[in-house]
Amino acid sequence: MMIDFALVAEREGHMSATDAIHQACLQRFRPIMMTTLCALVGALPLAVEQGAGAELRRPLGIAIVGGLLVSQWLTLYTTPIVYLYLDRFSDRLAAAHPLAWFRMRRVDQPTPHR
């Protein structure tokens, strides 16, 4: 969702990639955190419960909680970094290629007439 918001902001808002992903992170942070925390609170009893049969359910709870924490870190940290890296890579690729028709144009750049 962050990438979708950033692409829309970059195309329609005529923002740079850095500003677009920053705005997308600010807009999507709360819904991402709410969703993850709801799932985490739902899985926490499996990870910490005691009693009959707990030894069978505890690994599932620990796996769910660990997976949510890792996926949260990947979503909030690596997604913006990869977005900015790919934007810079596409700019370098477009600038280095000798054929003008191959260049990846941004929406706000006019297409040359032939």
Range of the domain at 84: 29-102
pLDDT computed for residue 106 by the predictor: 54
Kindly state whether residue 58 falls inside one of the protein's structural domains. Answer: yes
Instruction: Provide φ and ψ at 109, rounded to 5°.
Output: -90, 130
Query: Tokens representing 7?
Result: 């692409």
Q: What's the pTM?
A: 0.65
Predicted confidence at residue 98, as pLDDT, reads 61
SS3 content of the chain, % helix, strand, coil (to 5): 80, 0, 20
Which residues fall within 8 angstroms of residue 23, CB to CB, at 6 or more apart?
5, 6, 9, 13, 15
Check: CB of residue 6 under 8 Å from CB of residue 21: yes
Evaluate whether residue 52 is within a structural domain: yes
Flag whether 109 is in a domain: no
Residue 86 pLDDT: 87
Q: What pLDDT does residue 92 have?
A: 78
- For position 104, what pLDDT does the model report? 53
Q: What is the mean pLDDT of each run of 10 residues along the chain (114 residues)?
A: 86 88 89 92 88 85 92 88 87 68 52 51
Cα gap 64→47, rounded to integer Å: 8
Whole-number pLDDT of residue 53: 80
Predicted confidence at residue 109, as pLDDT, reads 53
Domain count, the chain: 1
